[in-house]
Amino acid sequence: MLILNFTHPLTDAHKAQIEALAGVAIDEVRTIPVQIDQEESLAPQIAAIVDAAGVASEEWQTRPLLINPPGYAPAALVLLAELHGRIGHFPALIRIRSKSGPVTSYEVAELLNLQSVREAARKRR
C-alpha cells in the first residue's frame, strides 16, 4: 500500500497503527509538502501538489492507496476532487486525532473508505 501524506510526517507508531487497521503492509510513504498561496487560485495549486506526488497514471488506478489529507479544509476538499478524477473513485483516508494527556500527541483514529461512505449515502437519497 502506498500512503500519500499531505500533512505532518507520520511516526513509526502511526505507521504501525495504520498497518494494524488496514491489515496490509505499507510499501511506501510519500510526504508531499502543501504550501498554499492565498493570493492564487486553489485548484491549480492542488493539481501541481498532486503532480508532485509522482504517481503514474496506471498507479492511480491500480495501486492500493491511502491518503493523509492536509488539515486546511479547502485544500483537503479540492484534493479530494482532484484525486477522485485521477483514481476514478473516492480514496481511503487516514483520520488522525489528538490524544488526551499532558503532552500534545496524535494517534490514528481510523481509516475511512470514502467510496464506501458514498455508496452508503446513496441509499439515503
pLDDT score at 67: 98
Closest CA to 17 of 3, 31, 6: 3
Q: What is the pLDDT of residues 33-92, one digit of tens each?
A: 999 999 999 999 999 999 999 999 999 999 999 999 999 999 999 999 999 999 999 999
Q: What is the pLDDT of residues 101-110, one digit of tens each?
A: 999 999 999 9
pLDDT score at 124: 95
Q: Tell me, what DSSP letter sits at residue 7?
A: S
- Count how many residues are written for the chain: 125
- pTM to 2 decimals? 0.93
Based on the number of CB atoms within 10 Å of its own CB, is 40 exposed (0-12), middle (13-18) or buried (19 or more)?
Answer: exposed
Average pLDDT score over residue span 113-124: 96
Listing from the earlier edge strand, what are the strands of the sheet with 92-99? 28-31, 2-5, 65-68, 92-99, 105-113
